[in-house]
């Protein structure tokens, strides 16, 4: 999960490496080549990254269907092909083969999302601790952002070339193959795991389970809320990933050494997600099995916290100053870890395991579709001093999601009132 999950989110760390390797340098004029600044070249890198992030989420629905139909192992074995294509493309990338940059971003993302969803689905082997396990896995996936920064450091220090590192990551396909048989199962009768999903805390009545259909879960207000909330509130973190390179270059006064250090800190700081995500998962699952009131309170508190963090995340980058960099790194890590862990834990904890693959897939597919707004937002950042326009648009979208938080809190107070009335009636009978 950490090696192969969401590496695409840290791809901006090697933009300067790609520039030194003259990828898409043919788009630059002689003047921009001399000054070391080429907007057209940078735009290609940003577009490839945006497309990769979109394809990291878009196929999730189909991946979920395949998981529910054939099992996690089957889907993960198929994804090894995408893994090979993606990392082989990066290994063979050179001037004249610039298009391989897009192929790498798309196929490595396709492989990565399969790794993520199949790993999330494995949280069903745990019943009482699903929220904690799912959020721990979410943290591992978020922290995979760091690896391209590790690439950057190794390349800048002359230890390895980009192609060599790509071949090493290509070899990790063997890990995918081995873990598919050791930890994942499929629907076929041979080579099955000796243990099954632990669902003893779920609905045992077959008639009630039949009524609890996929369509009913899709229409659940809680599910709709989680999907919309994640899709919109995740925009600031995704946009910051795409916007980071020109942003940090401007703030550091084109000091490449200092910019590289901040980029490394930006990506490596995501390691803290391994701690932050389980904390959120614990808070979300705290006493949730005892009452609906507690369940709704947990959801409301965690999602309200993530909403506030993302509002702050939108405001900080408006001020183009080096003083905001450290707070920005901290808030970015907290906000992304909180929103991803909270939403994934909701799906894993409060919905039947029979539909978890498709429910998770649909959620992330919608997130991927919303990612395409980045193409429009990035145009608002030229010149960099006008980037505040893009952040204002994002703030407006995130603020709108406050209406859904109102719905959650109303639902909590209604449930609390109902429980208090039931308690009063029960204890005042003669």
SS (H, E, C) 337-360: HHHHHHHHHHHHHHCCHHHHHHHH
- In this prediction, residues 49-71 reach a mean pLDDT of 83
pLDDT at position 429: 59
Between residues 48 and 360, the one the model is more confident about: 48
Separation between Cα atoms, residue 108 and residue 87, nearest integer Å: 7
pLDDT at position 126: 58
Separation between Cα atoms, residue 163 and residue 183, nearest integer Å: 31
And the tokens for 315?
């405001």
Confidence band, pLDDT 50/70/90 cuts, at residue 286: confident
pLDDT at 363 over 90: no
- In this prediction, residues 273-287 reach a mean pLDDT of 78
pLDDT at position 17: 92
pLDDT at position 203: 46
pLDDT at position 4: 72
Ramachandran class of 254: left when φ > 0, alpha when ψ lies in -120 to 50, beta otherwise: left
Superfamily grouping for domain 7-188+216-427: MFS general substrate transporter like domains (1.20.1250.20)
Around 61, how many Cα atoms within 13 Å sit in the side-chain half-sphere? 10
And the tokens for 245?
């390179």
Separation between Cα atoms, residue 107 and residue 170, nearest integer Å: 12
Confidence band, pLDDT 50/70/90 cuts, at residue 364: confident
Phi, psi at 159, each rounded to 5°: -80, -40
Between residues 152 and 430, the one the model is more confident about: 152
Confidence band, pLDDT 50/70/90 cuts, at residue 396: very high
pLDDT at 196 over 60: no
Confidence band, pLDDT 50/70/90 cuts, at residue 103: very high
Separation between Cα atoms, residue 23 and residue 97, nearest integer Å: 8
Confidence band, pLDDT 50/70/90 cuts, at residue 1: low
pLDDT at 187 over 70: no
Between residues 194 and 275, the one the model is more confident about: 275
- pLDDT > 70 in the chain, percent: 83
The model's pTM is: 0.76
Alpha-helical regions (H) of 9-99:
15-20, 30-35, 39-57, 60-70, 72-91
pLDDT at position 123: 61
And the tokens for 262?
């901040």
pLDDT at 343 over 80: no
pLDDT at position 31: 54
pLDDT at 32 over 60: no
Inter-residue contact 419 to 293 (CB < 8 Å): yes
pLDDT at 266 over 80: yes
And the tokens for 226?
């989680």
Q: Which of 81, 78, 80, 58 lies closest to 70 in space, CA to CA?
A: 78
Residue with tokens 């990769």: 52
Q: Which of 130, 179, 138 lies closest to 9 in space, CA to CA?
A: 138
User: Which of 19-33, 124-138, 158-172, 293-307 is predicted most confidently?
Assistant: 158-172
Instruction: Tell me how far the alpha carbon of residue 417 is from its chain's centroid.
Output: 36
pLDDT at position 199: 47
pLDDT at position 418: 86
Confidence band, pLDDT 50/70/90 cuts, at residue 207: very low
pLDDT at position 190: 65
Confidence band, pLDDT 50/70/90 cuts, at residue 200: very low
For the ranges 12-16, 85-89, 174-178, 187-191, the lowest mean pLDDT is seen at: 187-191
pLDDT at position 144: 82
DSSP annotation of 329 reads H
Separation between Cα atoms, residue 91 and residue 305, nearest integer Å: 41
- In this prediction, residues 368-382 reach a mean pLDDT of 86
Around 201, how many Cα atoms within 13 Å sit in the side-chain half-sphere? 15
pLDDT at position 321: 87
Inter-residue contact 418 to 428 (CB < 8 Å): no
pLDDT at position 106: 93
What does pLDDT average to over the chain? Answer: 81
pLDDT at position 23: 92
- In this prediction, residues 15-23 reach a mean pLDDT of 91
SS3 40: helix
For the ranges 145-159, 224-238, 344-358, the lowest mean pLDDT is seen at: 344-358
- pLDDT > 90 in the chain, percent: 20
Phi, psi at 241, each rounded to 5°: -65, -45
* 313-332 confidence digits (pLDDT tens): 999 999 888 889 999 989 98
């Amino acid at each position: 999960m950490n090696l192969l999950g969401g590496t695409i989110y840290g791809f901006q760390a090697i933009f300067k490496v790609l520039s030194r390797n003259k990828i898409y340098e043919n788009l630059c004029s002689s003047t921009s080549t001399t000054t070391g600044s080429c907007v057209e070249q940078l735009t290609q890198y940003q577009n490839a990254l945006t497309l990769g992030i979109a394809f990291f989420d878009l196929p999730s629905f189909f991946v979920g269907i395949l998981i529910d139909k054939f099992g996690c192992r089957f889907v993960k074995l198929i994804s090894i092909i995408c893994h090979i294509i993606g990392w082989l493309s990066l290994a063979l990338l050179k001037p004249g083969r610039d298009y391989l940059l897009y192929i790498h971003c798309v196929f490595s993302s396709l492989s990565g999302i399969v790794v993520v969803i199949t790993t999330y689905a494995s949280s069903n082997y745990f019943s009482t601790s699903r929220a904690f396990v799912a959020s721990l896995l979410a943290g591992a996936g978020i922290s995979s952002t760091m690896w391209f920064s590790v690439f950057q450091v190794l390349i800048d220090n002359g230890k390895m070339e980009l192609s060599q590192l790509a071949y090493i990551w290509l070899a990790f396909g063997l890990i995918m193959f081995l873990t598919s048989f050791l930890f994942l199962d499929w629907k076929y009768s041979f080579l099955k795991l000796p243990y099954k999903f632990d669902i003893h805390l779920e609905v045992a009545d077959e008639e009630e389970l039949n009524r609890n259909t996929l369509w009913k879960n899709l229409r659940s207000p809680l599910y709709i809320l989680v999907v919309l909330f994640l899709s919109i509130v995740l925009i600031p973190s995704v946009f910051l990933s795409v916007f980071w390179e020109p942003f940090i270059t401007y703030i550091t006064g084109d000091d490449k050494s200092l910019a590289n250090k901040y980029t490394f800190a930006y990506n490596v700081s995501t390691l803290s997600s391994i701690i932050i995500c389980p904390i959120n998962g614990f808070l979300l699952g705290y006493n949730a099995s005892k009452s609906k009131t507690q369940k709704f309170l947990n959801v409301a508190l965690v999602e309200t916290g993530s909403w506030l963090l993302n509002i702050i995340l939108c405001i900080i980058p408006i001020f183009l100053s080096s003083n905001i960099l450290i707070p920005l790194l901290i808030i970015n890590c907290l906000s992304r870890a909180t929103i991803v862990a909270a939403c994934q834990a909701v799906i894993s904890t409060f919905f039947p395991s029979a539909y978890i693959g498709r429910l998770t897939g649909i959620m992330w597919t919608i997130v991927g579709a919303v990612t395409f707004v980045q193409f429009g937002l990035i145009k608002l950042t030229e010149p960099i001093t006008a980037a505040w326009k893009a952040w204002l648009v994002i703030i407006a979208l995130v603020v709108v999601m406050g209406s859904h938080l109102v719905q959650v809190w109303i639902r909590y107070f209604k449930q609390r009132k109902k429980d208090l009335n039931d308690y009063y009636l029960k204890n005042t009978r003669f």
